[in-house]
Amino acid sequence: MQALHLSCFTAVSCLGTGLEPTLAALAANRSGLARCAFETAELATHIGAVAGVDDYRLPAELAAYDCRNNRLAVLALEEDGFAEAVRAAAQRYGAARVGVFLGTSTAGILETEQAYRRLDEAGAFVAPPVYEGSHTPYALADVVARHLGLSGPAFVVSTACSSGAKVFASAARLIGAGLIDAAVVGGVDSLCLTTLYGFNSLELVSAEPCRPYDSERKGISIGEAAAFALLERPAGTLPPEAVLLAGVGESSDAYHMSSPHPEGRGAYAAMRAALESAGLCAGDVDYLNLHGTATPSNDAAEGQAVMRLFGRDVPASSTKGATGHTLGAAGALELVIAALTLQHGLIPGSPGSHELDPALDLDYVFTPRRQALGVVMSNSFGFGGSNASVVLRRADAKGHA
C-alpha cells in the first residue's frame, strides 16, 4: 500500500490527557489502573478510567449528543492541536474530501443503561435514551464530523477489540481509491456496566491490575480511551521523525465466537498480511506492541503466532498493564503509543508483569528500553476472531527514506 502520513495524532486514556502525560507515564513504566469505583459497579477489579469525563461539557451545538463516549471523543479532539490540524486539512482539501473512520464497541450505551433504571410504574422510560445522539454507534462518527466541520464519508467499525485498528485499513482504502484526500481515524470507547459485568460473567476480569504475558496472569482490566490520527498522503520531504502508516493486515480466525484459535492462526495471518502490505519482512520490525490482554488463552495464542513469525528477534510488550484494555479504542490508542515509540526511541515496558509465561519464548520487555526504532507493528485481535495488525515506520527508516 502507499504509505500515508500521520500528520497529527493524540490520545486520552487513564495515563493522562494528551501525548505529553501519556509519554511520561510510558517512560516511567507507570500504570493508570485503579480499583473500580465506576458508577454503580460492585466488582472486585481494577479499571482504567479517564479523569474529568463526567465534568466535561460538549459545545452547545452538540448538546443532543451528550453522553460519556462523545464527551470523551471531543475531549481528545481538543488535545495536541488535533482539531486545528483537521480544520486546516479541510481548508486545503475541502470538507467533503476528509473522511471520518472510527472504532468503538458499546458507544454511548451507558446512558441507555441509566435510562432503564428510571422507569415509571407502567414500565415506561422517565427519560428515554437518545437513539441518534448516543445509543447508536454511528453517533460517534456523527459528533466528530460535526465538531470538526467535515462532510466526507463517515462510518464506524464495531468489531470488538480490533475496531480501532481496522479503521486504518478502511481509511487507507478510500484514500488509495481517490475518494478522499485525508481521514480522521481512531477509536473511542468509554466505560459502561455492560462491558464490566459482561466480561466479569465470562470470568475474564482480573481482581488485580492485569499482568499481560505473565506466568500468573489472571485476566483483563477494562479501560476507556479516545485516540485519533490525521491520515493524508505525504506532502514533500518529511522530517526524519515523521510517522507513516506503512501497512495493515486483516484476518479472521473463523474458529470461535469468543476464543482465539489456540495456535494463533488468525493472528499470524494478520501480521503476515501487514508485513506484505508494507513491503517488509519480519526482520525489519524493531518493536511489536502486542494485543496482550492478560487472559490465559489470548496471550498464549498470540504468543504462539509471534514465536512462529518473529522468534525472539523482536522486542515485544503489551501496554495494557498501563492503560487497561480499552476495547474498541485499543487499536487506535496502541497505534498512537507505537507512533510515540518511533518518535522518541522508547520501547514501553509492561507494568504489573514480572515473569514471562515459560511456555512463551519471546523477548518480552518488562521495563522501558531506550532504543532507536525505525519500524513497529501493533496488534489488535477481537472477539469472533477479528484480527488487525498495523505497521508504522519513521520517514528516515533505513531502506525507506
For residue 218, how many other CB atoms are within 10 A of its CB? 18
Q: What is the pLDDT of residues 106-143, one digit of tens each?
A: 999 999 999 999 999 999 999 998 889 988 999 999 99
Are the C-beta atoms of 148 and 86 separated by less than 8 Å?
A: yes
DSSP per-residue codes, 130-179: -IIIIISTHHHHHHHHHHHT--S-EEEE--GGGHHHHHHHHHHHHHHTTS
H/E element holding 326? Answer: none
Q: Which residue carries 471520518 as its cell?
A: 100
d(CA 157, CA 145): 15
Tell me the residue length of the chain. 401
**Domain limits of the chain?**
4-394
pLDDT, residue 366, reads: 98
pLDDT at 258: 81
Euclidean distance between CA atoms 287 and 379, whole angstroms: 11
CA angle 269/223/11 to nearest 5° reads 80
What pTM value is reported for the model?
Answer: 0.97
Tens digits of residue pLDDT in 138-188: 999 999 999 999 999 999 999 999 999 999 999 999 999 999 999 999 999
Tell me the percentage of the chain whose pLDDT exceeds 70: 99
The rounded distance, in Å, linking the Cα atoms of 46 and 30 is: 15
Element (H, E) at 333: helix 330-344
User: Read out DSSP for 274-295?
Assistant: HHHHHT--GGG--EEE----S-
Structure confidence by residue, pLDDT tens digits, 237-275: 999 999 999 999 999 999 888 888 999 999 999 999 999
> Which H or E element spans position 72?
helix 68-77
Mean pLDDT value across residues 316-323: 98
pLDDT for 234: 95
Name the CATH superfamily, with its identifier, for domain 4-394: Thiolase/Chalcone synthase (3.40.47.10)
The model's pLDDT over 26-46, given as tens digits with 9 standing for 90+, comes to: 999 999 999 999 999 999 999
Q: Which residues are catalytic?
A: 161, 291, 325
Mean pLDDT on 316-329: 98
Residue 401 has pLDDT above 50, yes or no: no
